[in-house]
């Protein structure tokens, strides 16, 4: 039986949030070299944006300060990875 405490659960969620960042690194390194740096990053940063959102949500959870005002900022920011994915296509 596998038991988790709070620290291992937080570590799990941090590692899980960093997976999309690895996707971004892979996309940036695989992008054609003839693209400009701006184009390479805008077509590859959807994973980094998703990681940033996940880590921000985890930080709010760790600090124990969930408030409606956090959602007012976080909610609309959830569309950023979707917009970046659509742009990359």
pLDDT in tens, the chain (89 residues): 466 788 888 888 889 888 999 988 898 888 888 888 888 888 888 899 999 999 998 888 888 877 888 788 888 999 999 998 898 88
Inside any domain, residue 13: no
Inside any domain, residue 8: no
Identify the pLDDT of residue 52.
93
**Residue found under tokens 């909610």:** 75
Inside any domain, residue 40: yes
Alpha-carbon span 45 to 58, nearest angstrom: 20
Inside any domain, residue 55: yes
Inside any domain, residue 23: no
Inside any domain, residue 27: no
Inside any domain, residue 5: no
The answer to whether the CB of 24 falls within 8 A of the CB of 47 is yes
The answer to whether the CB of 27 falls within 8 A of the CB of 43 is yes
**Residue found under tokens 């979707």:** 82
Structural domains counted in the chain: 1
Q: Is 4 left (phi over 0), alpha (psi -120 to 50) or beta?
A: beta
Alpha-carbon span 48 to 60, nearest angstrom: 18
Task: Give the domain extent around 46.
Answer: 33-89
């Amino acid at each position: 039986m596998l038991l988790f405490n709070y620290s291992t659960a937080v570590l799990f969620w941090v590692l899980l949030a960093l997976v999309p960042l690895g996707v971004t690194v892979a996309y940036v390194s695989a992008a054609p070299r003839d693209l400009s740096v701006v184009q390479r990053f805008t077509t590859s940063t959807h994973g980094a944006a998703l990681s940033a959102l996940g880590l921000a949500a985890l930080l709010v959870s760790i600090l124990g300060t969930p408030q409606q005002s956090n959602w007012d900022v976080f909610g609309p920011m959830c569309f950023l990875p979707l917009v970046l994915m659509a742009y990359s296509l």
